[in-house]
Structure 1
Amino acid sequence: MAEVLFYHLERHPLERVLPELLARSLGRGWRVVVQAGSEERLSALDAHLWSYSDSAFLPHGTRADGRAEEQPIWLTTGEDNPNGATVRFLVDGAATAELDGYERVVFLFDGLDPEVLAATRERWKAAKAAGHAVTYWRQDERGGWQKAG
């Protein structure tokens, strides 16, 4: 069973939070797949991960780059896992029917959008009903993460 984490973005946008979480994942030796909700978001994340910091580098690729098996971070809009990732991030409303096969599945969701909140609640219920270990994380006043459930 996967550990399923829900990160409620309230204080900082995805563009600030995702690179930090990806860097932590790579630091732990994990391979990662990031599933975006649209091709436009995928392209924006791809460009952002190349330039988000002058002092950091997040090696990643997309279908356009090829050689998925060589990429520690793979960006996609599909449910594929061509780099053999053990961690899956779902962003911008992306969803997957398959949580098994991953050690960790991370949903990053916009806390200000009522439709996204409703969809995320359903994903929470489904993951819990399937027997996954589910946790909920909120941003504190400084933007750090506090486990809330």
Structure 2
Amino acid sequence: MKRVDFYQLSRDPAERVVPLIARATKNAGERALVVSGDAEQIDRIDKALWEMLPDAFLAHGRAGEPHAARQPLLLSMSCEAENEARFILLADGAWRDEAFAFERAFLIFGESALDGARACWRMLGEREDTPDRHFWLQDGSKWREGP
């Protein structure tokens, strides 16, 4: 893993942030795997990907469905990238060690997962192969890099 981006939510839920990161991932020519252990959150993300950016359609599908391997953006409850994604978005705020197999990870978390995100930041910093880490905070409708 080369980089981990921590996105601390304060205004918007993950469902509003995932499409923005997914669009940037697509524009970078990368595939992504969006992971959440919450099936209802996966449903909300799926809906947001259809509705939030109508002018920039984000082709996507769900793990285990036909053509999952062809999807540039795959929604899943596990870290298995059927689409051979190199980027992983952990939409439920829970770090999974399987993310180390990806080139870049995005940990998207709210207030309730703040302690876990801090522990993850420290854990990554203690590794011999420490990835480049960035911390992002919502500042109104924009994102700014935090301390």
The TM-score normalised by the length of structure 1 is 0.87
The answer on whether the counterparts of 1:37 and 1:93 sit within 8 Å (CA) in structure 2 is no
The answer on whether the counterparts of 1:32 and 1:89 sit within 8 Å (CA) in structure 2 is yes
- TM-superposed CA distance for 1:64, in Å, is 5.1
The answer on whether the counterparts of 1:35 and 1:94 sit within 8 Å (CA) in structure 2 is no
Return the alpha-carbon distance in structure 2 between the equivalents of residues 11 and 82 of structure 1: 32
Query: Cα deviations across residues 74-99 of structure 1 (Å, max 9, x unaligned)?
Result: 10011211111111000123331133
Within 5 A, what are the aligned runs for 1:1-149?
Answer: 1-63=1-63, 65-110=65-110, 112-113=111-112, 116-130=113-127, 131-141=130-140, 143-149=141-147
AA paired with 1:144? K
How many residue pairs were aligned? 145
Name whichever of 16-25 and 44-53 sits farther off. Answer: 44-53
Return the alpha-carbon distance in structure 2 between the equivalents of residues 135 and 54 of structure 1: 29
Return the alpha-carbon distance in structure 1 between the equivalents of residues 55 and 22 of structure 2: 15
The answer on whether the counterparts of 1:2 and 1:101 sit within 8 Å (CA) in structure 2 is no
Query: Cα deviations across residues 101-138 of structure 1 (Å, max 9, x unaligned)?
Result: 3221000111x32xx11111111122222212111111
Query: CA-atom RMSD, angstroms?
Result: 1.6
Query: Cα deviations across residues 34-70 of structure 1 (Å, max 9, x unaligned)?
Result: 0013112112212221222332211001035322220
The answer on whether the counterparts of 1:35 and 1:91 sit within 8 Å (CA) in structure 2 is yes
The answer on whether the counterparts of 2:63 and 2:82 sit within 8 Å (CA) in structure 1 is no
Q: Which runs of 5 or more structure 1 residues have no equivalent in the other structure?
A: none
Indicate the percent of aligned positions where both proteins have the same amino acid.
31
Query: Cα deviations across residues 4-59 of structure 1 (Å, max 9, x unaligned)?
Result: 11011112222222111110110110100000131121122122212223322110
The answer on whether the counterparts of 1:2 and 1:133 sit within 8 Å (CA) in structure 2 is yes
